[in-house]
Structures are given as C-alpha cells and as structure tokens.
Amino acid sequence: MAKDPVCGMGVKEGQICSTYEDKKYCFCSKTCKESFDKDPAKYVKSEGKKKSGCC
C-alpha cells in the first residue's frame, strides 16, 4: 500500500495521483494532491541528502 506524502495516510495506488521527478505519488484526497502539487519538494525527501544521526 502506498503512503500519502502529505498526510501519511495509507492509500491505494492509482486513485488520485501526481508525478514528480519521474516518480508517482498517490493521495487520500484531492486536497492532499493540491497541497502536493503546489510545492512537491516540501513533501518529497531529497535522495541525495544524507540524514543526520545514526540511521
């Protein structure tokens, strides 16, 4: 099951989705999709960025 990047809720893929940097993101509602579409970088972790700490 996919995870809504805005609210963290579990969602079925293919319902309400957007594509950002060649990756598909699915949402629980149109409201979450609209929030994501306004500023996707806010909700997507940069893969090139290292986490601080032990993990």
Q: Which residues contact 19 (CB under 8 A, 6 or more apart)?
A: 25
d(C-alpha 31, C-alpha 37), whole Å? 10
Closest CA to 8 of 26, 24, 21, 30: 26
pTM: 0.76
First to last CA, the chain: 24
Q: What is the pLDDT of residue 46?
A: 56
Give the start-to-end residue ranges of the domains of the chain.
2-42
Query: pLDDT tens for residues 16-41?
Result: 999 999 999 999 999 999 999 999 99
